[in-house]
Amino acid sequence: MLRRCFAPALAGAIALIALAGCAPDTLPRPEGSAASATPTTGGPVGGKPARHDAQTTNHAAQNSAIDYDCNNGSTISARYPDTNHAVVRYQGHKLPMHIAISADGARYVGKHYEWWTRGTGRGAKATLFAHGDNGSTGNAITVCHQQ
């Protein structure tokens, strides 16, 4: 008797689990995840949301140039035409780059250089690195802060 009642219940539970696996992914991706629309830019750590005004808007969505003062005396100008690309102007050269995986901040990689930003707004840190032939991050060329 118990077997007769248990078998249909078990079959029903298995069918529900199988159907649940077919459901579309309707939840939005977590902000800053590799699959989200906007790359992480190393926002606040304390759990408090960042202020969103003209000064602190996510620079990856801006198309206007952002200037950085660097420790080697140079100024780097970076433009972010969309969330996946950056064009860095360094020593008179335009360096086109695309977004790459990073554990912290937004990392853009080009043929010979990497541009790694952490945070947004005045004082935000950015570093220009050499990009290794094997795809690794090379030595830091200069460390900069957003004007």
Distance CA 77, CA 45 (A): 27
Instruction: Give domain status of residue 93, yes or no.
Output: yes
CATH of the domain at 68: 2.40.128.200
How many structural domains compose the chain?
Answer: 1
Q: How confident is the model at residue 39 (pLDDT cuts 50, 70, 90)?
A: very low
Mean pLDDT of the chain: 73
pTM, entire model: 0.57
> Which residues, 6+ apart, have CB-to-CB distance to 113 below 8 Å?
88, 90, 95, 97, 128, 129, 130, 131, 141
Q: Which residues touch 107 (CB under 8 Å, ≥6 apart)?
A: 99, 100, 101, 114, 115, 116
Confidence of residue 134 (pLDDT cuts 50, 70, 90): confident
Measured CA to CA, the distance from residue 83 to residue 40 in angstroms comes to: 10
Residue 47 domain-assigned (yes or no):
no
Q: Which domain holds residue 137?
A: 59-146
**Does residue 49 belong to any structural domain of this protein?**
no
Whether 117 is covered by a domain: the verdict is yes
pLDDT tens digits, 8-35: 555 555 544 444 444 444 434 444 434 4
The pLDDT of residue 127: 97
**Residue reference for tokens 């100024």:** 75
Q: Does residue 1 belong to any structural domain of this protein? A: no
**135 found inside a domain:** yes
The DSSP secondary structure of 54-107, one letter per residue, reads TTTS-GGG--S-EEEEETTS-EEEEEEEETTEEEEEETTEEEEEEEE--SSSEE
Number of H helices, E strands in the chain: 1, 8
| Rounded-to-integer distance, Cα 128 and Cα 135, Å | 15
Q: How high is the pLDDT of residue 23?
A: 41
Q: Flag whether 50 is in a domain.
A: no
pLDDT at 96: 97
Radius of gyration of the chain (CA): 23
Q: pLDDT tier at 135 (50, 70, 90 boundaries)?
A: confident
pLDDT, tens digit (0-9, with 9 covering 90-100), for 71-111: 999 999 999 999 999 999 999 999 999 999 988 899 999 99
Task: Report yes or no on 119 lying in a domain.
Answer: yes
Q: Report pLDDT for 106.
A: 94
